[in-house]
């Protein structure tokens, strides 16, 4: 932390200006991402109330399988296009800039259009992909938006390569808004769970069509061009393949879990409808709340990718290590800040938001996964930016193996919680492997910043337990005198004050350092 403070106080250095730019941009993107997630969270509440847990389960299973194909069509293409554009700009290669975008668009079309035609014509023969055949018509509706979503992702990657993060962030929140509006309008009358799941799928398709059209217009207005992709296809394929393999594998694992986990629950004695309902609770209600830190970490990783890639290609190790430190520091702080809130208020959030006690119980008991999840996410993004895609690919499979083992072996022991335990095992394994590789490959980073980060990490972990227990106690106390909703606000505010005080006492993060880190340099 002392090294971090000495660096940020050097206001006139180029390194400080670059760091301030990264954090300022990340703050803006994060704000828009939080607004987007807030809309998504509200929409989940609407879905859970209008189509029920069973309808939400059907929708989530179909969406999980659809994610395999959309990941196959995009995967690492947007982030690789971004990196190739950054590299071409650093080399003053304008043809390489437009060629990278064209190569990405061509590859996405080649990977998605045949899938749409094949499944569109012979879709009835793919019912084996689902544990419940009712998911198939929902999946086929989603398939309509596959090509549009894939091309939009490539356009988004071109914006990232030009370090233009505001436009794609606005497009993301606009897409989410369109989906919410379309969903609310379509779901006014839902006779059964399947009809509700179908209408929710149509809302997704409408949002994909909107985002593609809007992004194409923005691309043309900013002077985007298409050129011969010949020279960029090979580096695109070489860099994309490992990332895409990881992401496709991830969606395959998620889809396998979405199909197999309800089946494993049925083997414990519950009905098929009840198993889908339980899966809908964990994947459609609890996990969206638990994934809130990914909003901040995803935005930060998004902004850091071109910065890290540029520093890597230009051999600017000092600034490279400083940005790695910032990313790690913010990710740990976000997770440790939110964890006590989720533990103390998770049960109340589930009852208030979803009218579902199980969802609240799962949020509370699953809150510890926030820490390994945050570290795993940010370190994976960093290692991919530095060119270690193959290693992260292997590490992902190690984590996936832990996830699948838990899903297969634990439902008879802990029921629906086997899903969350599997996620925790996956995040812990990948986080540990990522950190080991990062410290090994960036020895200068560990010498300059590693010990200070570990010190902050240890103090954050120490603060989590007392804050969680006191927050839980205050929540119970306030509910004796206030209504449940007002008790949540009062408890949340109290935990916030206690966190600031305890963090100040433990010297985790001071207001002065916070101001310095995010202050815009001139």
Same domain, 73 and 18: no
pLDDT over 70, % of the chain: 81
CB 149 within 8 A of CB 70: yes
pLDDT of residue 19 exceeding 60, the answer is no
Q: Of the residues 207, 241, 275, which one is the last residue of a structural domain?
A: 241
Residues 6+ apart with CB under 8 A from 118: none
Residue 448 lies in a domain: yes
Alpha-helical (H) ranges within 268-369 are: 272-281, 287-290, 293-313, 317-354, 357-366
Give pLDDT, residue 62.
83
Q: pLDDT digit string (tens) for 414-424?
A: 888 888 898 89
∠ CA 131-132-137, nearest 5°, is 120
Q: Of the residues 241, 274, 300, which one is the last residue of a structural domain?
A: 241
pLDDT of residue 472 exceeding 70, the answer is yes
Give pLDDT, residue 511.
56
Residue 260 lies in a domain: no
pLDDT of residue 518 exceeding 50, the answer is no
Same domain, 59 and 188: yes
CA–CA separation, 475 vs 457, rounded Å?
A: 27
Same domain, 208 and 297: no
Same domain, 358 and 453: yes
Give residue 395's Cα distance to chain centre: 18
Same domain, 162 and 62: yes
Give pLDDT, residue 61.
80
How many CB atoms are located within 10 Å of the residue 41 CB?
14
Residue 156 lies in a domain: yes
Closest CA to 74 of 207, 246, 222: 246
Give pLDDT, residue 125.
67
Same domain, 3 and 100: no
Please give the residue range of the domain that contains residue 76.
51-241
Give pLDDT, residue 22.
54
Token pair belonging to 167: 């436009």
Q: pLDDT digit string (tens) for 297-354?
A: 766 666 666 667 666 666 666 777 777 777 788 788 888 888 988 888 888 888 887 7
Q: pLDDT digit string (tens) for 62-102?
A: 887 888 788 777 777 887 888 788 777 777 777 777 788 88
Q: pLDDT digit string (tens) for 106-134?
A: 888 888 888 888 877 776 666 666 767 78
Token pair belonging to 464: 């989590």
Predicted TM-score of the model (pTM): 0.63
In this prediction, residue 11 has a pLDDT band, given cuts at 50, 70 and 90, of: very low
Token pair belonging to 411: 């439902």
pLDDT of residue 144 exceeding 60, the answer is yes
Residue 323 lies in a domain: yes
pLDDT of residue 135 exceeding 50, the answer is yes
CB 279 within 8 A of CB 262: yes
Q: Of the residues 241, 273, 308, which one is the last residue of a structural domain?
A: 241
Same domain, 199 and 300: no
Q: If you average pLDDT over each of 119-128, 174-183, 275-284, which comes out highest?
A: 174-183
Number of domains into which the chain is organized: 2
pLDDT of residue 519 exceeding 70, the answer is no
pLDDT of residue 168 exceeding 60, the answer is yes
Q: pLDDT digit string (tens) for 420-467?
A: 898 899 999 999 998 888 877 776 666 666 677 778 888 888 888 899
- The tally of CA atoms less than 13 A away on the side-chain side of residue 235 is 19
Lowest mean pLDDT among 224-228, 435-439, 503-507: 224-228
Same domain, 8 and 64: no
H or E stretch covering 3: helix 2-9
DSSP state for residue 126 in the 8-state scheme: G
Residue 281 lies in a domain: no
Same domain, 319 and 227: no
Give pLDDT, residue 506.
83
For residues 127 and 265, the model is more confident at: 265
Same domain, 213 and 342: no
For residues 85 and 389, the model is more confident at: 85
Residue 45 lies in a domain: no
Residue 255 lies in a domain: no
Same domain, 78 and 218: yes
Residue 264 lies in a domain: no
Same domain, 86 and 18: no
Give pLDDT, residue 428.
93
∠ CA 111-116-121, nearest 5°, is 140
């Amino acid at each position: 932390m002392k090294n971090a403070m000495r660096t940020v106080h050097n206001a006139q250095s180029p390194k400080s200006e670059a760091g301030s730019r990264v954090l300022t941009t990340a703050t803006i993107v994060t704000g828009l991402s939080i607004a987007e997630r807030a809309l998504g969270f509200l929409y989940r509440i609407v879905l859970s109330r209008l189509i029920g847990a069973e309808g939400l389960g059907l929708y989530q299973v179909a969406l999980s399988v659809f994610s395999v194909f959309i990941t196959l069509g995009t995967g690492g293409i947007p982030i690789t296009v971004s990196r190739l554009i950054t590299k071409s700009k650093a080399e003053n290669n304008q043809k390489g800039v437009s060629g990278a975008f064209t190569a990405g668009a061509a590859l996405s079309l080649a990977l998605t259009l045949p899938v749409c035609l094949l499944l569109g014509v012979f879709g009835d023969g793919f019912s084996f992909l689902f544990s419940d055949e009712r998911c198939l018509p929902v999946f086929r509706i989603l398939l309509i938006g596959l090509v549009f979503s894939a091309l939009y992702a490539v356009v988004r990657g071109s914006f990232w390569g030009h370090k233009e993060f505001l436009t794609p962030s606005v497009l993301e929140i606009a897409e989410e808004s369109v989906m919410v509006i379309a969903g609310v309008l379509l779901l006014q009358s839902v006779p059964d769970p399947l009809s509700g799941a179908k209408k929710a799928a149509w809302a997704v398709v409408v949002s994909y069509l909107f985002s593609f059209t809007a992004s194409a217009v923005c691309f043309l207005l900013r002077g985007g061009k298409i050129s011969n992709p010949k020279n960029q296809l090979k580096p695109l394929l070489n860099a994309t393949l490992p990332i895409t393999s990881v992401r496709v594998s991830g969606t395959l694992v998620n889809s396998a879990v979405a199909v197999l986990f309800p089946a494993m629950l049925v083997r414990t004695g519950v009905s098929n409808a009840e198993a889908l309902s339980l899966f809908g609770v964990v994947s459609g209600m609890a996990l969206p709340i638990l994934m809130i830190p990914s909003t901040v970490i995803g935005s930060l990783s998004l902004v850091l990718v071109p910065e890290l890639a540029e520093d890597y290609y230009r051999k600017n190790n000092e600034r490279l290590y400083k940005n790695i430190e910032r990313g790690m520091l913010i990710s740990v702080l976000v997770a440790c800040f939110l964890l006590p809130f989720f533990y103390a208020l998770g049960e109340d959030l589930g009852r208030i938001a979803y009218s579902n006690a199980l969802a609240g119980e799962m949020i509370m008991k699953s809150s510890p996964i926030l820490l390994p999840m945050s570290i795993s996410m940010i370190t994976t993004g960093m290692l991919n930016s530095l060119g270690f895609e193959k290693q992260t690919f292997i590490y992902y499979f190690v984590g996936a193996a832990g996830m699948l083992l838990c899903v297969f072996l634990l439902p008879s022991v802990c029921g629906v919680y086997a899903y969350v335990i599997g996620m925790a095992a996956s995040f812990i394994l990948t986080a540990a492997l990522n950190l080991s590789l990062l410290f090994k490959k960036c020895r200068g980073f560990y010498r300059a910043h590693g010990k200070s980060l570990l010190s902050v990490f240890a103090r954050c972990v120490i603060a989590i337990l007392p804050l969680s227990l006191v927050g839980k106690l205050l929540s119970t106390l306030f509910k004796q005198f206030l209504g449940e909703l007002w008790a949540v606000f009062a408890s949340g505010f109290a935990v916030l004050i206690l966190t600031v005080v305890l963090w100040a006492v433990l010297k985790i993060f001071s207001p002065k350092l916070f101001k310095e880190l995010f202050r815009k340099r001139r």
